[in-house]
Amino acid sequence: MSPPPPPPPLGGELGGAVALPLPPLTREDRLRSRDRERVHRARNGHRRLHLLWLLIGPGILVMLGENDGPSMLSYATTGATYGIGFFVPFILLTFAMAYVCQEMAMRVGAVTHRGYGQLVLQRYGRSWGWLAAIDLLFTNLVTLIAELVAIRVGVAYFLGGGTLSAQLSALIGVALVLLTLSLGRYWRWERMVLALAVLNCLFVPVAILTHPHWGAAAHALATLSPFPHGSINTLLLLIASTIGATVTPWMVFFQQSASADKGLTPHDVRHGRYDTLAGALLAAIFGIAALIGGAALFSHGGGSISGFLGAAFPQAIGARAGQVAGALFALGLIEAGAVALLAISASTGYALGECVGAGNSFNSHPRHAALFYGANIAVAVVAAAVIMIPGAPLLSIALNANVLATVLLPVTLIFVILLASDRELMGRHANTRARNLTAGLIVALVSAAGAAYAIDSFLLSTHLIGG
């Protein structure tokens, strides 16, 4: 009996079909494989701390990134308006909500290796995918303007107001985006932004320097404080703004896409949860610190929101608690705006690249991911141009950026829940009934907060009710 014929060479014919050669590995493939090899060695060597260090990133970044300039101003304004009380446990509640939402985004990204925009487009059609991307682009642009306003407020504390502060703030924003994009890979981008995000802790010494009544703060944390009195419209604004300061559409886009870009797998879901939980806890502590710092102004005419959203807020903190506290608050605003600027511009690049089907990774060379890199730069440049316009309503934009996020958030959350519950996609990692119930309650709360403020504002504007 003659021996069986040898297998056909690569590219030869077999049964009428042609075995095509495998495509060459891309730069993105090589860099991500290198990162995964480090994770594999740490896991097999039982080096738990090193493994945690390698896998943390997107969760801490997204939470501290959402402790952005407008959010910290919102927390401080809430403290100045209502003192320490209802809003301290409310901030903890909103970050618990943020953890639930972001854990789903992380889990979907790790299991499917796909970003939010790409999955919505593939599972629910191009119309929904593009609607989500356009919605994100609009909210991101408004939020990026607000981030540069916060940077400008911080810079103005040191340089004074005027054109110079606007020019320097715009330069800082665009330069940071260009610098981080030049790093050439996701790992370096993530680590640089994480190093910058650590400075969100500057609000803690601000709170300490204001010499708060720590017993009152502990009591607020341990008990359910009564609903604050005052203008209903202002209260609804601050509630909606506080929710928008912790859960926003860009966070979902960013963490799911960053988890995929980092190369997380189903084996890494547990560490992804640690990462997201750590980010939520740190962000809650720093957010409460900003509120406590603002509460130092509660008995010193702290109810004027519009005045404190200008450069007067760091000055007011400095006058009340010393110039060091004012300087730290100003530096904290610069950091908060800068980190959010980098993360939000990245989420824009991810979303547009995913919808078009183009390269959308920091591990890709700019030639192969031109839209991703171009979108990162373009939104930062446009936002920088807006803050240079004389007479632009910058303070109004900063105040309402978080409210806009609250109003537009429910649709994003509904799609996250649908994706995380899809057993065909997620397998054993799909949402349980308890998770879906919790997520559904969050959607209901966010929708109610946005709708209540919108309805009350409409009734006030049409003089159907009094102020």
Question: Is residue 33 assigned to a domain?
Answer: no
CATH number at residue 370: 1.20.1740.10
Question: Is residue 396 assigned to a domain?
Answer: yes
Question: Can you tell me the distance from the alpha carbon of 323 to that of 320, in angstroms, rounded to the nearest whole number?
Answer: 9
Question: Is residue 48 assigned to a domain?
Answer: no
Question: Is residue 154 assigned to a domain?
Answer: yes
Q: pLDDT tens for residues 221-237?
A: 766 666 666 667 777 77
Runs of H (alpha helix) within 224-268: 232-244, 249-262
User: What is the extent of the structural domain holding 389?
Assistant: 63-260+267-461
Confidence of residue 427 (pLDDT cuts 50, 70, 90): very high
Question: Is residue 10 assigned to a domain?
Answer: no
Question: Can you tell me the distance from the alpha carbon of 31 to that of 29, in angstroms, rounded to the nearest whole number?
Answer: 6
Question: Is residue 36 assigned to a domain?
Answer: no
CA dihedral for 134, 170, 327, 190, sign (positive or negative):
positive
Q: Would you say residue 426 has pLDDT above 90?
A: yes
What is the end-to-end Cα distance of the chain in Å, rounded? 99
Q: pLDDT tens for residues 283-337?
A: 999 999 999 998 888 765 544 444 444 457 888 888 888 999 999 999 999 999 9
Q: pLDDT tens for residues 45-76?
A: 989 999 999 999 999 999 999 898 888 988 88
Question: Is residue 40 assigned to a domain?
Answer: no
Q: Are 268 and 55 within 8 A, CB to CB?
A: yes
Residue corresponding to tokens 């080096």: 47
b/e 12-47 (16+ beta carbons within 10 angstroms → b): eeeeeeeeeeeeeeebbeebbeebbeebeebbeeee
147 closest CA partner among 405, 449, 322: 405
Question: Is residue 11 assigned to a domain?
Answer: no
Runs of H (alpha helix) within 185-248: 186-197, 203-209, 214-222, 232-244
pLDDT of residue 227: 61
Treating both helix axes as pointing N-terminal to C-terminal, what angle do 69-82 and 394-421 enclose, rounded to 10 degrees?
Answer: 110
Among the residue ranges 201-205, 350-354, 390-394, the one predicted with the least confidence is 390-394
Number of domains in the chain: 1
Which is more confident, 456 or 98? Answer: 98
Question: Can you tell me the distance from the alpha carbon of 253 to that of 243, in angstroms, rounded to the nearest whole number?
Answer: 18
Residue corresponding to tokens 């799609």: 415
Q: pLDDT tens for residues 243-290?
A: 776 788 899 999 999 999 999 999 999 999 999 999 999 999 999 999
Count the Cβ atoms, other than its own, within 10 Å of residue 171: 11
Mean pLDDT of the region 376-380? 95
Burial of 437 (0-12, 13-18, 19+ CB in 10 A): exposed
Query: Which percentage of the chain shows pLDDT scores above 90?
Result: 47
Under DSSP, the state recorded for 3 is P
